[in-house]
Every structure is written in C-alpha cells, then in structure tokens.
Structure 1
Amino acid sequence: MGMIGYLKQISTESLEGIIAGNMNIAEFIYSNESESNSLDLDKAWHAIHFLLNESAWEGQHPFYNVILGGIELGDDLGYGPARYLTSEEVKEVALSLSNLNENELKNRFSPEKMKELDIYPSIDWAEQGDLEYVFSYYEELKKYYIEASEKNSAMLLYIS
C-alpha cells in the first residue's frame, strides 16, 4: 500500500469544531459521507512537493503549504498527524497554483535529483510515464484547490 497523500476539503465550522475538541479528526477523515470531499494523491504527493519547492522536505510559502504545510492537528494517522490550512491559506495556494507556469514546473522534473533526494516512493523516476503520472495528479490537485477556494473551504492534509 505505501504512503498515500490526501487532501480533504472541510468547512471552517467543522475545522473549528475539530480544533476545539468537539469533533474527532480521525472520525471526520474516515467517515463515509466525508470521503466524497477528499482527493487521493496516491504516491505522487512527494514528487509534486519536489516540483513545487525544488526540495524534498523544505519549501517556500505558499507552495510549501500545498502538500506538507499547515498546522498539525490531532493524533498520528500513520505517518504523522493531519495538518490544516485555513480558507484564506487555501485561496492563497489556489491563486499561486493558477499563476504557476506549468512548463517551468515540468522542467523541474529531474530523475537524477529526485533519486538523489530520495523522493518517495524512491523509484528511478526515469521510467516512461513517470512525468505524466505525477502531472495527472498535479492537475487534479490544482483543480481541487481551486474548487475549495471557490467554496471558501479549509483543507486537511495527511498521509496515510
């Protein structure tokens, strides 16, 4: 199975309830009715972070927030606790992704550097289709952030 990255839209009210301790974050994340609001990034999450930040684990605001940013919330879900972005931070990410030159982003795809930095899932990254795999998930991520921004949603980020 491996480490799968997820994004989950959440209303500001529900997020405030989780922060206040009135709702359990794991129950919210894994409830059937909230699954329709989540995006599965499969194992492309780390490569997307690398392309946006040119780093394995570090990054610059707002692109760091896309995958690994946010404020930790709740217990460990398998690979650390979930993190959240406010609706304002989601809007900032969505705008930044919308303004990003995708050709420039594609030019950052470097199998050698990705292998050197041990970008998960630690594959060669030089196989035919690897760039397309990562970019198909990037396109979904971009649409998802834009949709969340339009709905004034906050975002949960987690790896499970």
Structure 2
Amino acid sequence: MGMIGTYLRVTDDELARLLDEPDYFEELYTYEERQSDIDKAWHGLYFLLTGEADLDDIDRHSLGRTIFGGMVIEEETGTAYLTSAEVKDLTTRLHYIERDALESRYEATRMNAHELYPFERGWGSEEKQYLLEQFEELKAIFSSASQKKEGLITWIG
C-alpha cells in the first residue's frame, strides 16, 4: 500500500484535549469521515511547494506545513497539527498558487536525482499529472477544514 499523507479534521477543543491527552488520538482516529489523504503524493508536493527534498530537516515554517503540519505531537510517528487559524492562513496561501505555476516547478530530472518518494519507476509526465491532481485534493482538504473552522492533524503512514 505504501506511505500515504493523511489529514484528520479536528475542532479547536478536540485539538486542545489531544495536546493534553495524547492517547485521545486513538479516539479521534476512529472518525474516518473526517479523514482525507493525498495518497503517495506527499513528497512530490512538498518538493513542488518548498523546493526542498530533504526530509531530515522538514520546513515547518512555509507551505511545507501543508504536508507535514506544524507543531509535532508525536515525534516517532511524525504526527503533527495545525490550528484552525493556521489552516485558514494556509488555505488562503494555497488558493493563490496557480496550477501553471506549480507545474512549472516540476523538474523530473531533479526529482529523480533526489529519489523523491515513492520513486517506483521514476518521475515523468504521468507522475506530473498525478501530483497536480493531488494538489487540487490538498487544496480541497484545507478549504473544507477552513470553512468548518477546524484544525488538521497530519501524518504519513
């Protein structure tokens, strides 16, 4: 199946409780109707949004937060969160990224050199289309959470 970039919408109250009680995540995780994902596109989208490929030093201060979240909840699993205010800000920022601009950042040779996940066959024209489709899904995830005034829990798993 592979590693999937997953998002879980949460209210501010649920997020506050989670930060006080980390085991509360197990209950939140059961709300499948609030979960969305960007499939295996997370590393490619991170690269297109930030220009970075290195996952040892994740950029949590820019659009990289749309992929990996902001503050880390659980270091071992990489589970992180974004508050409803951060989601609103990032939704606005994502809205202004034109598909053509994102497409112009697609550099298959460079992405292959960095061996961006999932790096099964290498990056090519089909994979570019896949990333652009998943970018639209990412925007929809953030837009939905923002409209509902919710935060997001993020993880790759």
Q: Residue in 2 aligned with 1:25? A: 25
Q: Which amino acid aligns with 2:103?
A: K
Q: Equivalent of 2:110, from 110, 113, 119?
A: 113
Deviation at 1:60, TM superposition (A): 7.2
Partners of 1:60 and 1:103 in 2: CA distance = 24
Do the aligned partners of residues 133 and 22 (structure 1) sit closer, same or farther apart at CA in structure 2, a change above 3 Å counting?
A: closer
Deviation at 1:38, TM superposition (A): 1.1
Residue pair 1:53, 1:60 contacting (<8 A) in 2 also: no
Partners of 2:22 and 2:128 in 1: CA distance = 42
Partners of 1:157 and 1:22 in 2: CA distance = 14
Partners of 1:26 and 1:47 in 2: CA distance = 29
Q: Equivalent of 1:48, from 45, 48, 55?
A: 45
Q: Residue in 2 aligned with 1:12? A: 12
Residues 44-83 of structure 1 correspond to what in structure 2 (within 5 A)?
A: 44-56=41-53, 57=55, 58-59=58-59, 61-74=61-74, 76=76, 80-83=77-80
Tell me the SS of whatever aligns to 1:105.
Answer: helix
**Percent of pairs with identical residues:** 29
Structure 1 unaligned regions, length at least 5: none
Q: Residue in 1 aligned with 2:123? A: 125
Residue pair 1:25, 1:74 contacting (<8 A) in 2 also: no
Partners of 1:96 and 1:83 in 2: CA distance = 20
Residue pair 2:73, 2:79 contacting (<8 A) in 1 also: yes
Residues 95-153 of structure 1 show CA distances to partners (whole Å, capped at 9, x for unaligned) of: 00001122111011111111111210123101x42111111111011011011111110
Number of aligned residue pairs: 153
Cα RMSD (Å) = 1.7
Residue pair 1:62, 1:96 contacting (<8 A) in 2 also: no
Residues 53-91 of structure 1 show CA distances to partners (whole Å, capped at 9, x for unaligned) of: 111134473302100231111474xxx231000111101
Q: TM-score, normalised by structure 2?
A: 0.89
Structure 2 unaligned regions, length at least 5: none
